[in-house]
Amino acid sequence: MRRILARAVLSVGTVALVLTAAASAHAHGLAGKRFFPSTLTIDDPFVADELSLPTVFHIKEPRDGETPARQNTTVSGEFSKRILPNLGLTFGGDWTLLDPAANGKTESGFGNLELTLKYQFFTSAEHETIFSVAFGWEAGGTGRAKIGAESFDVFKPALLFGKGFGDLPNALAWLKPLAVTGIVEGVLPSRSGNKTFRLNDDGDLEIEVEKNPNVFHWGFAVMYSLPYLQAFVKDIGLPVILNRLIPLVEIDINNPLDRGFAGKTTGTVNPGIIWAGKYFQLGLEAVIPINERTGKNVGFRAQIHFFLDDIFPNTVGRPLFGSR
């Protein structure tokens, strides 16, 4: 784990040092003066042309029944393309390496493909507010079952929001750089359970059923934008590489609702930091389980994210239809 973490930090840091000269203006993720960065754990409330590649996640997972404790390393990517100025489609996928802590076979492979259609239906420049609705589809059977890819489809209707606090009174000026983004989402499997057939020691056929619950997924991110502080509250003289930083904490919670799993909540708290330039951003977060059911070990998530609508504003960064 130390080697993986060191490589992730080194790669992110190297890119930051090489490209620090990026300008401060953003056309990406804007609501008035507010720039919303792309968060690492929960989905973004805005529609944009963007590419997350790679996102690296690593954690040690606890033993679960007959599954031994193991190291989980996942490398994922997402490509988002605007169809209309406020309507976009996201394609996502990942590759996972599962390395057992005990003697056992290492497994690796691709997860299921995911598609998400998102519509940004409300934007207030004055109040730095965004609302969007989205519908996600995880295509069952497109990934490798041995790394956890399910054979059934999963549907994910969601409501997303973003709110900056730049409209606070001047008496609270130091709170104006604060912003929050969030998501409430249903995770709805197309199959209520998986049946497994096997012969017991007496040679009789047994049927085992693994239930797939409906899940209420919700999360939010609280962030403090140093670029906003410098530009719109007070220039406190931060050096160039520091005045692009956005510290944040993300909360990500899953609440199963039925089929014997009700009340078995899992989730993580993810404190981290984002460095945001004009054309890309770099992010690094710790992944801290909220309870023993989720796990006992702290992991990490690191990401390089490209703003295609700023890099290629006249070509691939434009909506397919409609004006910019």
Q: Using CA atoms, how far apart are residues 192 and 48, in angstroms rounded to an integer?
A: 34
- pTM recorded for the entire structure: 0.87
141 conformational bin, left if phi > 0, alpha if psi -120 to 50, beta if neither: left
Residue-wise pLDDT for 77-107, tens only, equals 999 999 999 999 999 999 999 998 666 789 9
> How many of the other CB atoms lie within 10 Å of CB of 207?
8
- Each domain of the chain, given as residue ranges in start order, spans 2-265+277-311
Length of the chain: 324
171-180 burial by CB neighbour count: b if 16+ within 10 A, else e?
eeeeebbbbe
Q: Using CA atoms, how far apart are residues 168 and 227, in angstroms rounded to an integer?
A: 17
Q: Using CA atoms, how far apart are residues 196 and 229, in angstroms rounded to an integer?
A: 57
Query: Is domain 2-265+277-311 classified as CATH 2.60.40?
Result: no
**pLDDT tens, N- to C-terminus, the chain (324 residues):** 444 434 443 443 443 333 333 333 346 899 999 999 999 999 999 999 999 999 999 999 887 766 778 899 999 999 999 999 999 999 999 999 999 866 678 999 999 999 999 999 999 999 999 999 999 999 999 999 999 899 999 999 999 999 999 999 999 999 999 999 999 999 999 998 877 766 666 666 667 778 999 999 999 999 999 999 999 999 999 998 899 999 999 999 999 999 899 999 999 999 999 999 999 999 999 999 999 999 999 999 999 999 999 999 999 999 999 865
| Closest to 66 in 3D by CA, of 100, 96, 95, 97 | 100
